[in-house]
């Protein structure tokens, strides 16, 4: 039986590390698939739990030179604190390294600068005091290498296990420079003062320090890419006021139980998901939907944990806790999206897996070629170290996951949840969007739109009679009239003798008068003359509205029109899709007249009407067969097959759980604006990834030949190992910084 698990991998430093873990885990016979994300340090693995489990997987990871840590809700929250602590330790070690590297660099280089005379201690002059000159450099270098010892412990371990990585490149290169410097020191102690010119202590220290600078800046930037998740964890309320034994007591939110009654005062966060059983208020749901306007809530409405009660005390019955809560599900979706790879990352993964051993080979071959060409051992060593240091594929490994992390975090802050990296990549190519009508373009529930009294009845009186007649009805149109009367605080009268006639209408006695309400056929059966309303009724029907006829004691009293009204921002949302060059199609089971009226109101390009629920997936297939990249937007159970079959399924978050589970993208609000935002964000993320990959490939493609001495062979400059280290560090920082620019993207 297949099982999917997620774990944290510790000890990775570059794309080659991630590739090594993937290969090690994928080789296990019971593992179906394994994917490692360098930026999130996350392993997603699918395996047959009857044949093996995480213990065996952890063993394979350890053999590859890394550590597997199982992820739990508690560990997920702890890792943010651990990340901050690790960053602080990184900073402290960097400061110590800089304290020793700066004077070391000055001592090694100041006397070589000819165009300006820098102050220099006489007792350290290399030709007159070579022993002091060499020993001081050695003493200053050792603390730097100790601060950067992680490069050596991880690098040599990975090298000896046959999985060399970035740390291996740094460790081998700087160790070679350090060892040759020690050899030069021995020569100096033997009386050869000229050997002081063949020391590279400062190169070893500078390379380690510069890479530490780059790693620190990279870690700081990566910390910002994960801030979306960290901020989501911080949203939940720490305490809750609950009713216990007739009293209100304050408890830790973690102690809440399903069925508890919470008391939420104005200005407080709602501690958990629940249903309002008493009170009315407006609730700030911006953390959930990205919408700044508060939402009015009343008895029977659902509220979400971590949203803010604005004005009015509420009593809320807890309905969902822990991993079942909305906030936990949002965090899970964002983390899964950040942890998974987009298909565009496959090329970088393949390249990264072979990059380090090939780079080491290039460095060795280049050094040997220069040595055979007559250059000194010192020159060949420079070539070897430069190639190893500049060849690190860090930028290549970070190009895709950092952009996805920032992009999904940006989306989450706006109520747009991508479920995986593939959805992000696919959404950018969408050319046609199919929109379900009910609950997507429209509100999903009928509302009163027009009140047209006749024969001396006034609007309020007509509504009062109609709502009184319909208050026992279970028909959605009748419920809409009763709800309208309640919202307008229109008083209802006492009634008796309620009779419902299927497919026609209702009959009831109100204040001794017989009230009938229903469709035109019902009025004709009763012999009631409604000719005066014919033109009005036809106009209403043309607008997609349903006219209901009402009569009192056989006299026509007027029309009340009911319709599933269009959401206020649907037209603007569809206009934004058009601005992005995307065709829009509305799918509905309604009759063509109603469908065309709605389509005209919102400006969709095409209408597919009178579609049975089971045929919606067929409509999606029809457009896909035309070679179009299709996104389907819906909210109901009957939309689930179409959402799953589309290239990108987009579920309106106010819809059903089945629709949300079937979709690739979830809009936490009920607005269609998020569709255009999701596509716009997808395009920006993929564009950012392509930029990152382009520059990462360019960096390595240009840097390695230059480091190998290609320019020098034609009279150009030779790349110094210190400059190579600076370039390598800056490449990683630039990739992460470029990804962070996605936070500046303006969504509606």
Catalytic residues: 436
Structural tokens at position 62: 């350890």
**Other residues' Cβ atoms within 10 Å of the Cβ of residue 376:** 11
Total residues found in the chain within this entry: 748
Q: What is the DSSP pairing of strand 606-608 with strand 583-587? A: parallel
Q: What is the C-alpha to C-alpha distance for residues 336 and 358, in angstroms, rounded to an integer?
A: 33
Output the CA–CA distances (angstroms, integers) from residue 219 to 90, 144, 152, in the order listed: 9, 20, 19
The beta strand positions in 160-258, using DSSP E, are 239-244, 247-252
Q: Are 573 and 584 in contact (CB under 8 A)?
A: no
Can you give the three-state secondary structure of 638-676, one letter per residue? Answer: HHHHHHHHCCEEEEECCCCHHHHHHCCEEECCCCCHHHH
Alpha helices in 260-373 (DSSP H): 286-289, 326-339, 346-372
- For residue 703 the two structure tokens come to 């840097």
Bridge partner list, 210: none
The strand ranges marked E within 378-422 are 416-418
Nearest to 121 by CA among 105, 106, 135: 106
CA distance 94 to 106: 18
**C-alpha separations of 180 from 148, 195, 432, 445 in Å:** 19, 11, 64, 80
Positions of E strands within 534-611: 546-552, 555-563, 583-587, 606-608
238 Cβ partners below 8 Å, 6+ apart?
Answer: 252, 253
Paired strand residues for 229: none
In angstroms, the Cα distances linking 391 to 701, 704, 707 are: 9, 6, 9
Is 165 strand, coil or helix?
A: coil
């109609």: which residue's tokens? Answer: 466
Structure tokens, 377: 């051992």
**What residues contact residue 66 under an 8 Å CB cut-off, 6+ apart?**
9, 10, 11, 12, 17, 20, 21
Please state, in angstroms and rounded to a whole number, the distance separating the CA atoms of residues 621 and 290. Answer: 32
* Distance, CA of 506 to CA of 498 (rounded, Å): 7
User: Are 320 and 258 spatial neighbours (Cβ–Cβ below 8 Å)?
Assistant: yes
Q: Which residue has the tokens 């309106």?
A: 652
Which residues does residue 151 pair with via DSSP β-bridges, in sequence order? Answer: none
CB burial string 651-680: b at 16+ within 10 A, e below: bbbbbbeebbebbbbbbbbbbbbbbbbbbb
Identify which of 279, 272, 245 has the alpha carbon closest to the alpha carbon of residue 256.
272
Question: How many whole angstroms separate alpha carbon 188 and alpha carbon 195?
Answer: 6
Q: What is the rounded end-to-end Cα distance, in angstroms, of the chain?
A: 44
CB hemisphere CA count around 651 (13 angstroms): 29
Q: Containing H/E element for 191? A: none
Longest dimension (CA), the chain: 126
Other C-beta atoms closer than 10 Å to the C-beta of 183 total 13
Pairing type for strands 630-634 and 648-652 reads: parallel
The residues with which 418 forms a beta bridge, in sequence order, are 665
Q: Are 516 and 505 in contact, with CB atoms under 8 Å apart?
A: yes
């Amino acid at each position: 039986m297949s099982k999917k698990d997620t774990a944290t991998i510790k000890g990775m430093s570059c794309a080659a590390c991630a590739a090594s873990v993937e290969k090690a885990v994928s080789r296990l016979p019971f593992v179906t698939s394994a994917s490692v994300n360098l930026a999130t340090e996350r392993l997603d693995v699918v395996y047959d739990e009857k044949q093996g489990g995480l213990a065996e997987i952890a063993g394979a990871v350890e053999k590859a030179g890394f550590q597997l840590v199982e992820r739990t809700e508690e560990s997920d929250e702890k890792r943010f604190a651990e990340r901050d602590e690790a960053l602080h330790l990184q900073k402290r070690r960097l400061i110590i390294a800089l304290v020793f590297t700066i004077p070391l660099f000055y001592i090694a280089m100041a006397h070589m600068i000819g165009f300006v005379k820098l102050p220099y201690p006489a007792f350290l002059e290399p030709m007159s005091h070579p022993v002091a000159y060499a020993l001081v450099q050695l003493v200053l270098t050792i603390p730097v290498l100790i601060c950067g010892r992680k490069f050596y412990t991880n690098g040599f371990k990975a090298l000896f296990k046959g999985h060399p990585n970035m740390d291996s490149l740094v460790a081998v290169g700087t160790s070679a420079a350090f060892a040759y410097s020690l050899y030069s020191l021995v020569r100096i102690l033997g009386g050869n003062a000229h050997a002081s010119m063949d020391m590279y202590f400062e190169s070893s220290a500078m390379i380690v320090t510069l890479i530490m600078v780059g790693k620190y800046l990279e870690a700081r930037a990566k910390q910002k890419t994960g801030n979306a998740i960290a901020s989501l964890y911080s949203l939940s309320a720490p305490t809750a006021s609950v009713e216990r034994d007739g009293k209100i007591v304050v408890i830790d939110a973690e102690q809440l139980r399903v069925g508890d009654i919470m008391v939420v005062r104005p200005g407080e966060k709602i501690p958990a998901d629940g249903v309002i059983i008493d009170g009315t208020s407006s609730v700030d749901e911006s953390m959930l939907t990205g919408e700044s306007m508060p939402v009015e809530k009343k008895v029977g409405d659902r509220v979400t944990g971590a949203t803010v009660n604005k004005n009015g005390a509420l009593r809320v019955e807890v309905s969902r806790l822990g991993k079942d809560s909305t906030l936990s599900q949002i965090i899970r979706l964002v983390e899964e999206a950040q942890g998974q790879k987009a298909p565009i990352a496959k090329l970088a993964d393949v390249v990264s897996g072979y990059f380090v051993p090939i780079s080491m080979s290039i460095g060795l071959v280049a050094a040997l070629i220069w040595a055979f060409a007559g250059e000194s051992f010192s020159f060949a060593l420079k070539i070897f170290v430069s190639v190893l240091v500049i060849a690190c594929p860090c930028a290549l490994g970070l190009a895709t996951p950092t952009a996805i992390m920032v992009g999904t975090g940006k989306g989450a802050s706006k109520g747009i949840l991508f479920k995986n990296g593939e959805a992000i990549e696919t959404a950018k190519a969408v050319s046609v969007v199919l929109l379900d009508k009910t609950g997507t373009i429209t509100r999903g529930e009928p509302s009163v739109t027009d009140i047209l009294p006749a024969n001396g009845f006034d609007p309020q009186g007509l509504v009062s009679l109609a709502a009184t007649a319909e208050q026992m009805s279970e028909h959605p149109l009748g419920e809409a009239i009763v709800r309208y009367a309640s919202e307008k605080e229109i008083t209802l009268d006492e009634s008796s003798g309620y009779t419902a006639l299927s497919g026609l209408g209702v009959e009831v006695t109100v204040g001794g008068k017989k009230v009938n309400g229903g469709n035109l056929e019902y009025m004709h059966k009763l012999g009631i003359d409604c000719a005066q309303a014919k033109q009005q009724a036809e106009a209403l029907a043309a607008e997609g509205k349903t006219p209901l006829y009402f009569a009192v004691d056989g006299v026509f009293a007027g029309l009340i029109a009911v319709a599933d009204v269009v959401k206020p921002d649907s037209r603007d949302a569809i206009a934004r899709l058009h601005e992005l060059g995307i065709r829009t199609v509305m799918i509905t089971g309604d009759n063509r007249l109603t469908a065309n009226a709605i389509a005209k109101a919102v400006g969709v390009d095409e209408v597919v009407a009178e579609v049975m629920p089971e045929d919606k997936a067929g409509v999606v297939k029809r457009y896909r067969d035309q070679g179009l990249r299709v996104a389907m937007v819906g909210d109901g159970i009957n939309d689930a097959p179409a959402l799953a079959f589309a290239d990108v399924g987009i579920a309106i978050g106010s819809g059903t759980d089945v629709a949300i589970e079937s979709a690739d993208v979830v809009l936490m609000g009920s607005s269609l604006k998020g569709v255009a935002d999701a596509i716009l964000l997808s395009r920006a993320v993929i564009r950012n990834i392509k930029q990152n990959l382009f520059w990462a490939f360019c960096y390595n493609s240009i840097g390695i030949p230059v480091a190998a001495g290609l320019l020098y062979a034609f009279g150009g400059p030779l790349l110094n190992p210190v400059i190579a280290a600076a370039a390598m560090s800056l490449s990683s920082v630039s990739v992460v910084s470029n990804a962070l620019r996605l936070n500046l993207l303006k969504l509606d």
